[in-house]
């Protein structure tokens, strides 16, 4: 996963934690800047983003209430991002 270092210009919230970054950052970048990188709990414990390219579906989150893949979604100012660790994400993106 690449590092996202430009001067922060926008703010999003990940499980109510404020994250500063730019619009060139993906939601996956935003998750990596928090203490809550895991997106859900599997039968063997916490699960998190794996492939970074839309294949594994491990980065499913709710963005402003809609299911989306964090690795394929760009951040926008004021976005509300919620992981299963905060609330249920039990549907498949499609």
The length of the chain in residues reads: 94
Q: Does 51 bind ligand FES (CB under 6 A)?
A: yes
Does 27 interact with ligand FES (rule: CB under 6 A)? no
**Among residues 25, 29, 32, 58, which is the contact residue for ligand FES, using CB under 6 A?**
58
Regarding 41 and contact with ligand FES (CB under 6 A), the answer is no
Query: CA dihedral defined by 91, 34, 21, 39, rounded to 10 degrees?
Result: -10
Contact yes or no for 39/59 (Cβ under 8 A): yes
| 42 contacts ligand FES (rule: CB under 6 A) | no
> Judged by CB under 6 A, does residue 52 bind ligand FES?
yes
């Amino acid at each position: 996963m690449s590092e996202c270092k430009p001067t922060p210009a926008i703010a999003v919230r990940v499980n109510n934690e404020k994250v500063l970054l730019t619009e060139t950052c993906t939601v996956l970048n935003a998750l990596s800047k928090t203490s809550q990188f895991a997106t859900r709990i599997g039968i063997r414990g916490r699960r998190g983003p794996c492939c970074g390219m839309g294949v594994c579906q491990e980065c499913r989150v709710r963005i402003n209430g809609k299911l989306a893949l964090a690795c394929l979604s760009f951040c926008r100012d004021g976005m509300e991002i919620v992981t299963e660790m905060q609330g249920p994400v039990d549907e498949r993106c499609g």
